[in-house]
Amino acid sequence: MCGIFGITGTVTDAADNVFVGLKNLEYRGYDSWGVALRSHEGIEITKQVGKISDGELATSLAHEAVGHSRWATHGGVTLENSHPHRVGNVVVVHNGIFENYLEYKTKLEDTIEFKSETDSEVIAALIYLELQKGVSPEEALTTAVQNIEGRFAILVMFDDTPGIWAVRRGSPLILGRGDEQTFIASDIPAFLEKTNVVNYLDDNQMAYLYNTDVDFWDLHTGEKITKRNIEVEWDFESADKGEHPHFMIKEILEQKETIARAINQERDQVDEFIKALKKAGGIYIIGCGTAHKAAMATEYFFAQIAGKKVNVVAASEMDAFKTFVRANTAIVCISQSGETADIMEVVEYAESVDATVLSITNVASSSLARASKVALPVKVGPEKAVASTKATTGQMTIGFLLAHAYADTFNKGLGILLGAAANINDMINPRYEEHIESVAQEFKDNENLFIIGRGSLYPMALEAAIKIQEVSYIHAQGFAAGELKHGPIALIEKGTPCIVLGDDQETISNAIELKSRGAVIIGISTGEHEVFDHWLRVPDAEMAQPLVSVIPIQILAYHFALLRGHDPDMPRNLAKSVTVK
């Protein structure tokens, strides 16, 4: 969480470009923002509480600037807690968590007058105190960051030394190489309009940017290293909202094409992935939030299509299962961003025991993709809305394809998916959206909503709940259809809206049980049924049904958010990329 962005160069629009580029990192946190620029008078800092997209930065000429868009971890959403933080001649922007910061803050309180409640200001203080010993900036940084426990990325400016210093451990930092400027950011969209030539900073590496020159060091050995220039494939156009009011609806509608894009995998990569799975003594599929629900759907695909049991665990819960992860274990990580801290911790553990890391990720350049033996790209283009939509269906597409590849029925799987992709293209049209909007209108003031599904639609009931919760703030809860009568049915009152996924006989029986207790039933299925008070038709996608059934719920969640007056792209308390534990 938090986006950081820095620019050095031979031209003087660094601050303006940081301000503009930082808006493309706003999905990482939007509590407050700030920019530090180097002028003739020294380093000038501007900060504001609120979204950077609502902010303004007075134009100033500068060759160098750093910026920050904050997702508050330590300390409330205040100007004092906003970045950049200055201690003496040191200015820092920070993404990540300094887990043991209190130990140092307490020790230093007599020496440093701290102005914020943040862990980040303590990093600035540690660097400042090292500098006081008369060492060089790189020595001060190297020593100071040794004290930090946790995952982080920092950019540092010094009043008396030109250039920007960057250190990475656990949180992403990518350099962009332009002709007149060098960029360093938490994510590529910050500078994608300017260049697509990048260098990846790896963990425990430091960079020094000055004009268009960059030096890299390994923090462990202290030695200089060289980096290969890599061209990334994303174009700037696809990271833009275009004619749509929000990224969320743009990304939902893009599913007309993105399933087909996700299907289009390199066959030899899929074969290598399957070979690793077949060789493994045990398979874990991990993910967080929505990606965890895509993992659960993949578990059903493997069971139903390939007759193979895989273990699905939320990445944040893997600690209890670590003892089962050994050199012959395959860990399949599903992640849109490829930067989620809970996943990267498991990856680091897997690496330490020589387990095989495989991944399904939308960001082909992410830390996860780079750490994987085989990384299958989801290929749906940048997903900017906090609520995952097109990446989810893309991930499930690949999960489905893998299950068929495992069962040696790859072409059959391909055929089903191509059929689903064509049907989704027909399903998503303005009339369909209007119908869903009218359903949202009827239930927008309800504070509770339940969703049930059976088999591979059960994970979609859980996913539906996340989607509705995160953008509309309605208390939505998903259940396995057959579990209701074991407790949750007590929650049903007259008028409680319940979404029923599927129209198989057993699920319909559960819907009837709900209705006889007063529930209003919204059916999402291929066929209509009299128990449904409202019906959202979805095409028949055979075993790939979760892919199509989740889409009307995404549209419903979007309209709930609008009707309740919320910004669906930037819901409260959330950030797109969760890079803290």
Distance of CA 270 to the CA centre of its chain: 24
Closest distance to ligand AGP from the beta carbon of 335 (Å): 3
User: Sheet containing 475-480: which strands, arranged edge to edge?
Assistant: 475-480, 448-453, 497-501, 520-525, 534-537
| Token pair for 397 | 């597409």
Nearer to ligand AGP, 46 or 361 (CB): 361
Q: Is the distance from CB of 238 to CB of 382 less than 8 angstroms?
A: yes
Tokens 């303004």 — which residue?
56
Residue 120: name the closest of 36, 37, 64, 201 by CA. 36
Distance of alpha carbon 360 from alpha carbon 369, whole angstroms = 8
Nearer to ligand AGP, 127 or 368 (CB): 368
How far is CA 88 from each of CA 93, 112, 574, rounded to the nearest angstrom? 15, 9, 33
Tokens 């749509």 — which residue?
244
Nearer to ligand AGP, 32 or 337 (CB): 337
Indicate which residues carry an active-site annotation.
2, 576
Nearer to ligand AGP, 205 or 337 (CB): 337
Q: Is the distance from CB of 334 to CB of 366 less than 8 angstroms?
A: no
Closest distance to ligand AGP from the beta carbon of 440 (Å): 18
Closest distance to ligand AGP from the beta carbon of 576 (Å): 7
Distance of alpha carbon 129 from alpha carbon 108, whole angstroms = 10
How far is CA 553 from each of CA 216, 219, 259, 562, rounded to the nearest angstrom? 47, 47, 17, 14
Closest distance to ligand AGP from the beta carbon of 209 (Å): 27
Residue nearest to ligand AGP (CB): 289
Q: What number of helices (H) and strands (E) belong to the chain?
A: 16, 25
Closest distance to ligand AGP from the beta carbon of 429 (Å): 24
Tokens 């508050």 — which residue?
72
Q: What is the DSSP letter of 353?
A: T
Q: Which residues of 302-317 are buried (b: 16+ CB within 10 A; e: fewer)?
A: beebbebebbbbbbbe
Closest distance to ligand AGP from the beta carbon of 308 (Å): 23
Closest distance to ligand AGP from the beta carbon of 343 (Å): 6
Nearer to ligand AGP, 52 or 471 (CB): 471
Label the pairing between strands 213-218 and 224-225. Answer: antiparallel
- Residue type at 113 in one-letter notation: E
Nearer to ligand AGP, 9 or 382 (CB): 382
How far is CA 172 from each of CA 373, 458, 540, rounded to the nearest angstrom? 19, 34, 40
Distance of CA 325 to the CA centre of its chain: 25
Closest distance to ligand AGP from the beta carbon of 487 (Å): 25
Nearer to ligand AGP, 374 or 387 (CB): 387
Dihedral pair phi/psi, residue 2, rounded to 5°? 75, 140
Nearer to ligand AGP, 8 or 336 (CB): 336
Write out the residues near ligand AGP by the rule CB under 6 A: 288-291, 335-337, 340, 343, 386-388, 466, 470, 577-578
- Residue type at 248 in one-letter notation: M
